[in-house]
Amino acid sequence: MQNRTFYVKPCWDKEAGVFYTESDIEGLHVEAATLEEFRAVVMDAAAELIVANIGSAKRF
């Protein structure tokens, strides 16, 4: 199996007052009021999405 690197960048939406994701992980869309909350949600969601996306790719 080949190693792969993913990125997740927190971006600030001044008008909405939230951090949101810029990422190459398919399906990852997170908004959070603080960086701490952003990080916690991303750590859970990203791992689950990567596993789900890899599993989906193996079916084809």
Residue at 13 is within a domain: yes
The total of structural domains in the chain comes to 1
Residue at 2 is within a domain: no
What is the span of the domain harbouring residue 27? Answer: 8-58
Residue at 1 is within a domain: no
Residue at 3 is within a domain: no
Distance (Å, rounded) from C-alpha 45 to C-alpha 33? 17
Q: pTM of this prediction?
A: 0.78
**pLDDT tens profile 13-60:** 999 999 999 999 999 999 999 999 999 999 999 999 999 988 765 644
Higher-pLDDT residue of 1 and 53 is: 53
Nearest to 39 by CA among 6, 8, 7, 2: 8
Give the pLDDT score at 17.
97
Give the pLDDT score at 42.
96
Domain harbouring 47, CATH code: 3.30.2390.10
Give the pLDDT score at 60.
42
Residue at 31 is within a domain: yes
